[in-house]
């Protein structure tokens, strides 16, 4: 079997916002079926890194590769990132509020008859299939006709992830998807990440919740003030040790160790 190329590889990525040096010499890889927890204190550069990956900002310099293909920063965009198989799930912002659930699955990728009308029946069938088999919503009042604004935060996350999985996203980015969710909803999001793993895809999971990120990740990439300071596989660190490692950075203790 031919080994699949890494879902993402960044080489010497730098990002400046004016004089702010937000990312310094970023060299990372995310395997084709790897769940990477991207962690670090506020302002470490996590969101900036994923915004470069998802086509929101171009890097100031450096190169990156998606599934082995080199990205051209001049033509890269959010839309192009979708074409490359990258989906991003943000808290609450990723779904059209007043739409029925089934419509939401097909924004920008309608199934049409040859003469151009939307094939509503087909779209509803597929939405139903995704809800049952990919997301695992069974009963409890949610149907394909439910309005998105009636869903809980966790259910919205589920729909967004279900969409990402159905359209065979190769790499799903979750930037603090569980902020303000109830424990039960957080559990669902974590289960979805397990499904990404089982589905053979990759994920970058950003959160400040160490217990959550520890559960779902294969490896942790730790950032501090714009730099990647460590990459640690789960087998090599306990949750407690990871917590203490991070705390060391947030309290500036690592600086003292170095001097």
Ligand X SMILES: Nc1ncnc2c1ncn2[C@@H]1O[C@H](COP(=O)(O)OP(=O)(O)OP(=O)(O)O)[C@@H](O)[C@H]1O
Binding site for ligand X (CB under 6 A): 17, 20, 22, 40, 42-48
Which of Mg ion, ligand X, none does residue 82 bind (CB under 5 to 8 Å by kind)? none
- Distance of closest approach, residue 203 Cβ to ligand X, in angstroms: 17
- The DSSP bridge pattern shows strands 20-30 and 8-17 to be antiparallel
Going from the C-alpha of 105 to that of each of 108, 142, 178, 188, the distances in angstroms are 9, 15, 21, 19
Which of ligand X, Mg ion, none does residue 72 bind (CB under 5 to 8 Å by kind)? none
Residue 60: partners with Cβ closer than 8 Å, 6 or more residues away: 14, 15, 16
Stretch that binds Mg ion, among 2-10, 11-19, 40-48, 157-165 (CB under 5 A): 40-48
- Distance of closest approach, residue 40 Cβ to ligand X, in angstroms: 6
Residue 253: partners with Cβ closer than 8 Å, 6 or more residues away: 247
DSSP tally for the chain: helices H, then strands E? 9, 10
Which of ligand X, Mg ion, none does residue 20 bind (CB under 5 to 8 Å by kind)? ligand X
Tell me the residue number closest to Mg ion, measured at CB.
47
- Among 153, 154, 140, which Cα is nearest to 188's? 154
Specify the residue, 20 or 241, whose C-beta has the smaller distance to Mg ion: 20
- Distance of closest approach, residue 177 Cβ to Mg ion, in angstroms: 12
Which of Mg ion, ligand X, none does residue 239 bind (CB under 5 to 8 Å by kind)? none
Specify the residue, 22 or 135, whose C-beta has the smaller distance to ligand X: 22
Specify the residue, 17 or 136, whose C-beta has the smaller distance to ligand X: 17
* Footprint (CB under 5 A) of Mg ion, residues 41-60: 47
Specify the residue, 123 or 224, whose C-beta has the smaller distance to ligand X: 224
Angle, vertex CA 166, rays to CA 79 and CA 90, nearest 5: 55
- Distance of closest approach, residue 67 Cβ to ligand X, in angstroms: 24
d(CA 136, CA 210): 26
Side by side, the strands of the sheet bearing 227-233 are 86-90, 171-175, 202-206, 35-40, 219-224, 227-233
- Distance of closest approach, residue 176 Cβ to ligand X, in angstroms: 7
d(CA 193, CA 248): 28
- Distance of closest approach, residue 206 Cβ to Mg ion, in angstroms: 7
Which of Mg ion, ligand X, none does residue 45 bind (CB under 5 to 8 Å by kind)? ligand X
Q: Are the C-beta atoms of 204 and 174 separated by less than 8 Å? A: yes
Going from the C-alpha of 230 to that of each of 23, 53, 123, 222, the distances in angstroms are 15, 19, 44, 5
Specify the residue, 32 or 47, whose C-beta has the smaller distance to Mg ion: 47
Residues that bind Mg ion (CB under 5 A): 47
């Amino acid at each position: 079997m031919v080994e699949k190329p890494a879902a993402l590889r960044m080489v010497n990525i730098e990002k400046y916002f004016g004089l702010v040096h937000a990312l310094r010499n970023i060299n990372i890889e995310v395997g084709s079926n790897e769940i990477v927890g991207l962690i670090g204190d506020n302002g470490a550069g996590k969101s900036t890194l994923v915004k470069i990956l998802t086509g929101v900002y171009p890097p100031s310099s450096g190169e990156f590769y998606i599934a082995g293909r080199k990205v051209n920063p001049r033509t890269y965009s959010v839309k192009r990132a979708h074409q490359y198989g990258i989906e991003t799930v943000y808290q609450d912002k990723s779904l059209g509020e007043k739409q029925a659930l089934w419509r939401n699955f097909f924004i920008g990728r309608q199934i049409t008859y040859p003469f151009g009308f939307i094939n509503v029946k087909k779209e509803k069938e597929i939405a139903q299939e995704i809800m049952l088999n990919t997301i695992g919503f069974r009963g409890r009042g949610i149907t394909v006709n439910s309005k998105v604004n009636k869903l809980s935060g966790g259910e919205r996350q589920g729909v967004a992830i279900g969409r990402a999985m159905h359209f065979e996203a190769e790499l799903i980015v979750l930037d603090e998807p569980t902020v303000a969710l109830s424990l039960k909803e957080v559990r669902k999001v974590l289960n979805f990440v397990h499904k990404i793993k089982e589905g053979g895809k990759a994920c970058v999971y950003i959160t400040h919740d160490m217990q959550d990120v520890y559960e779902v990740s294969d490896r942790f990439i730790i950032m501090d003030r714009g730099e990647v300071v460590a990459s640690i596989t789960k087998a090599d660190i306990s949750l407690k040790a990871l917590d203490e490692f991070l705390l060391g950075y947030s309290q500036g203790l690592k600086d003292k160790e170095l001097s």
